[in-house]
């Protein structure tokens, strides 16, 4: 089984080197920094921290090269993006109307024996909106894959061959953060999974989000917009049963028990894990093992250590 490790942010308290050593990774480490976009190649600090050879896969640069060389695929990707945006706009409209009653009902204490029934019904509606959106996104991606078969197109196939050569000496893959949608799109186009074999993966920030079953965006108090957490896209499903929440203490009102509880119930049975500094989660293909500093949101609206009940 492929070993996947999710860790906290690496900017101020880097733990990647210690993580690699803890799982006995020896040799060069392949790196994905596509989420940094034009800054993709600025990985000197990462290399200095690791004190070993790194192999930057340059997926952002390769993606741009494909767009230049294959105008038909570029047009198809643009159309898929337009369809994706249409789906997202319609989903957000339904989400607005599903979240409001769920929040109000979960915040009430009156209503007697009828209240719990209505709370559960409102959450079921919310989960249905999310589930249907995910199904539509999967259909969109699968239809694109079936029609265009990007891996067989010469420009993509060329880069996949180069990636296979670059990956050959790599002992592990590290996936950094940045723009999560950009990261997912690049990982998906080049189908990196089929080239990795059983090499372990260590990911953080947007990298951890991209590897989940669903990419969930969350911010209770954004500069603009209603502050509704939403499913942005299907993830790459390298790990399961988890909603990674990097930077949650800055983006979620963790002292608001109603909002926290609703978030947990909405995305259950997946655990909602905070990936703060020092956090670590190991996925062995079947279950999670949590580090001592790793916490999760509780359905009661508070924070608990991963692995604890409640």
> Domain residue spans in the chain?
4-305
**CB neighbour list of residue 203: distance below 8 Å, 6 or more residues apart:** 4, 5, 6, 7, 174, 175, 176, 210, 211
For the chain, list residues with pLDDT below 50. Answer: 309
Q: Are 126 and 268 within 8 A, CB to CB?
A: no
- Tens of pLDDT, residues 27-62: 999 999 999 999 999 999 999 999 999 999 999 999
CA 219 to chain centre: 15
pLDDT for res 310:
53
**CB neighbour list of residue 271: distance below 8 Å, 6 or more residues apart:** 241, 242, 243, 288, 296, 306
pLDDT for res 260:
96
Long-range contacts of 78-86 (CB under 8 A, 24+ apart): 80/140, 80/141, 80/144, 83/140, 84/137, 84/140, 84/233
Q: Write down the residue that tokens 């230049």 correspond to.
A: 68
Q: How far apart are the first and last CA of the chain?
A: 29
φ, ψ of residue 248 to 5 degrees: the values are -60, -35
pLDDT for res 70:
98
pLDDT for res 24:
95
pLDDT for res 110:
84
At the second CATH level, the architecture of 4-305 is 3-Layer(aba) Sandwich (3.40)
User: Which is it for strands 4-7 and 280-283: parallel, antiparallel or unpaired?
Assistant: antiparallel
Q: What is the pTM of this model?
A: 0.94
- C-alpha distances (whole Å) from 134 to each of 2, 137, 226, 245, 307 are 25, 5, 21, 19, 27
pLDDT for res 87:
98
216/214 Cα distance (integer angstroms): 6
């Amino acid at each position: 089984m492929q070993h996947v490790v999710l860790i906290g942010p690496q900017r101020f308290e880097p733990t990647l080197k210690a993580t690699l050593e803890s799982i006995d990774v020896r040799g060069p480490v392949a790196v994905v920094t596509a989420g940094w976009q034009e800054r993709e190649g600025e990985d000197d600090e990462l290399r200095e921290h690791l004190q070993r050879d790194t192999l930057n896969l340059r997926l952002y640069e390769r993606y741009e090269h494909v767009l230049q060389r294959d105008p038909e695929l570029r047009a198809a990707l643009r159309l898929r993006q337009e369809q994706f945006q249409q789906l997202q706009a319609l989903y957000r409209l339904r989400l607005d109307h599903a979240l409001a009653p769920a929040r109000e009902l979960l915040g009430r204490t009156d209503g007697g024996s009828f209240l719990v029934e209505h709370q559960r019904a409102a959450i079921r509606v919310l989960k249905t909106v999310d589930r249907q959106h995910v199904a539509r996104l999967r259909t969109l991606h699968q239809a694109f894959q079936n029609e265009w078969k990007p891996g067989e197109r010469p420009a993509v196939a060329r880069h996949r061959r180069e990636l296979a050569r670059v990956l050959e000496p790599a002992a592990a893959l590290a996936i950094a953060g940045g723009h999560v949608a950009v990261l997912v799109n690049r990982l998906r186009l080049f189908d990196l999974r089929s080239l990795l074999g059983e090499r372990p993966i260590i990911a953080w920030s947007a990298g951890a989000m991209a590897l989940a079953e669903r990419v969930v965006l969350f911010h209770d108090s954004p500069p603009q917009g209603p502050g509704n957490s939403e499913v942005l896209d299907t993830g790459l499903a390298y790990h399961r049963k988890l909603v990674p929440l990097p930077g949650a203490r800055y983006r979620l009102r963790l002292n608001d028990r109603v909002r926290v509880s609703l978030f947990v119930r909405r995305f259950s049975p997946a655990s909602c894990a905070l990936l703060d500094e020092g956090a670590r989660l190991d996925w062995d293909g079947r279950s999670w093992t949590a580090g001592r500093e790793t916490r999760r949101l509780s359905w009661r609206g508070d924070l608990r250590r991963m692995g604890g009940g409640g």
